[in-house]
Amino acid sequence: MGWGDPDRIFYRLCWGLSLGMVFLVIGIGITLFWGSLPSLKAFGWHFLVGRIWDPVNEKFGALPFLVGTLITSFGALILTLPFALSSGIFLAEYAPPRVADGLSTVIDLLAGIPSVIYGLWALFYLVPLVRWVEMKLGVIPFGLGLPTASLVLAVMILPYAASIIREVLRMVPHELKEAAYGLGATRWEVIRGVSIPYGLSGIVAGLLLSLGRALGETMAVTMVIGNRSEMPRSPWDLANTMASVIANEFTEASKDIHLSALIEIGLLLFLITLGVNILARIIILRLQVR
């Protein structure tokens, strides 16, 4: 068992590389913190609750972006949930294997489409649709804003959620399902009573991972959210998200404090994503114990 042992080398290599990943995450965190120091000093906690984003008078509060990001991401999650769950169940339980394989490939292909394509599609097809609905409802018919952004995000995270749910349901042991059928359960009862409870932790974790993707999505959202840096006053209003404001203002932010405030938004986004992932871990652990 010396240094020349391939097993040993491989072991150390893997260790080193995975440690490197950890350092990379910590390094990104430190860099963001360092860059946002001037803004942290100038605004403190007011940055989190401030509603005014005014680069001319150097007043920066990130609450509108925080709210915009959370509304669109959770909105997308809620919209995508029934579709992801039903397509996952269909592919894992009902569809004949050949059909299931074909459909799974198509759904996975959706994940490979660049986000700017989703943005263009939303701009040309979702916007008129949303505007038509808004006119029927009697609200200001922008066609852009929170509902459109949530819809396009829902479509974008659907393939992730659906394929994780499908995989989780496929992993349910056949013995359990056979036993339930043996007791006279119908297919619906097996899915409800055996498959879903067994795979619940995996399903929740999959959904949270999709949420993480929705939180950080930039291009498609920028194209349809309307980019208004004020607090949204209704679910139909224009808004802005954290990722979107960074993409918009970073390149030409000439004042140091403006740049630093944008980096602090990046730090916030980083922490929120980290928080969502930690939450996913906790949920998986809790549900496994049962």
Q: At how many degrees (to 10) do helices 63-89 and 146-170 cross?
A: 40
* Residue type at 18 in one-letter notation: S
Stretch that binds another protein, among 66-74, 147-155, 253-261, 267-275 (CB under 8 A): 253-261
Q: One symbol per residue from 128 to 157: x for binding another protein (CB under 8 A), - otherwise; what is it?
A: ------------x-xxx-------------
Query: 66 or 262: whose CB is closer to another protein?
Result: 262
**Residue 54: strand pairing partners:** 59
Query: 175 or 252: whose CB is closer to another protein?
Result: 252
Query: 196 or 220: whose CB is closer to another protein?
Result: 220
Burial 232-248 (b: 16+ CB within 10 A, else e): beeebbbbbbbbbbbbb
Q: Least CB distance from residue 222 to another protein, whole Å?
A: 6
Put residue 88 in one of left, alpha, beta given phi > 0 → left and psi -120 to 50 → alpha: alpha
Query: 203 or 223: whose CB is closer to another protein?
Result: 223
CA dihedral sign, ordered 92, 97, 101, 103: negative
Q: Least CB distance from residue 56 to another protein, whole Å?
A: 4
56 scored as a contact of another protein (CB under 8 A)? yes
216 scored as a contact of another protein (CB under 8 A)? no
Among 35, 38, 50, 55, binds another protein (CB under 8 A): 55
- Please give the sequence-ordered ranges of beta strands (E in DSSP) within the chain, or none if there are none: 53-54, 59-60
Q: One symbol per residue from 220 to 249: x for binding another protein (CB under 8 A), - otherwise; what is it?
A: --xx--xxxx--------x-x---x--xxx
Among 127, 146, 154, 162, binds another protein (CB under 8 A): 127
Query: 105 or 251: whose CB is closer to another protein?
Result: 251
Whether the Cβ atoms of residue 217 and residue 172 lie closer than 8 Å to each other: no
50 scored as a contact of another protein (CB under 8 A)? no
54 scored as a contact of another protein (CB under 8 A)? yes
Query: 42 or 111: whose CB is closer to another protein?
Result: 42
Distance of CA 40 to the CA centre of its chain: 26
252 scored as a contact of another protein (CB under 8 A)? yes
Whether the Cβ atoms of residue 113 and residue 38 lie closer than 8 Å to each other: no
Distance of CA 189 to the CA centre of its chain: 31
Query: 79 or 245: whose CB is closer to another protein?
Result: 245
> How many helices and strands, by DSSP H and E, does the chain display?
14, 2
Residue with tokens 């803004």: 39
Query: What dihedral angle (degrees, nearest 10) is formed by the CA atoms of 57, 31, 29, 216?
Result: 60
Q: Which residues bind another protein (CB under 8 A)?
A: 52-57, 123, 127, 140, 142-144, 222-223, 226-229, 238, 240, 244, 247-249, 251-254, 258
